[in-house]
Amino acid sequence: MPLPPFSETGDLPLGVHHATLDEVIGRFRAGSSQREDCTRRLTHVFDLASRTDCLERFIVFGSYVTAKPEPNDVDMILVMVDSFRLETCPIESLGLFDHAVAQVRYGASIFWVRPQLLLGESVDEFIAYWQTKRDGSKRGIVEVIS
């Protein structure tokens, strides 16, 4: 199912919308050089996260998945399998798991979690939280699927 149209506010409708990486790129890359840059960052992070062989879910949220012509950056959540350990992470992917390093190195705001680290909350509840904008309103986000 294709990604839904934007609302009148330029957001995706509330919910977690599923799309392949190619669909995400096709929908959100064009429009400005900033969008092109954010798309390159997104695909690079996706590649590095996939190299861990522990990526369970990949979520994209924030201004990148809106109609905003110049998104600030690209915001992502990496849900890693419970057996994922930083000690065994490929060296080239390690920077993804330090928020400050990821912001500087990849120009992306990256959050990550293993399901067992969520106390009293499901992964779906954790992901749903990121639909909330700074002003308290809600918008849709995108989960990249294989």
Report pLDDT digits (tens) over 35-79: 999 999 999 999 999 999 999 999 999 999 999 999 989 999 999
Architecture in CATH for domain 16-145: 2-Layer Sandwich (3.30)
Query: Which stretch of DSSP H or E encloses residue 76?
Result: strand 74-80
- The per-residue pLDDT for 2 is 85
Average pLDDT over all residues of the chain: 95
Domain ranges of the chain: 16-145
pTM for this entry: 0.94
The 3-state DSSP class for residue 77 equals strand
In this structure, the strands spanning 55-61 and 141-145 are antiparallel
Question: Are 56 and 81 within 8 A, CB to CB?
Answer: yes
Report how far apart, in Å, the C-alpha atoms of 17 and of each of 1, 65, 77, 110 are: 9, 11, 14, 19
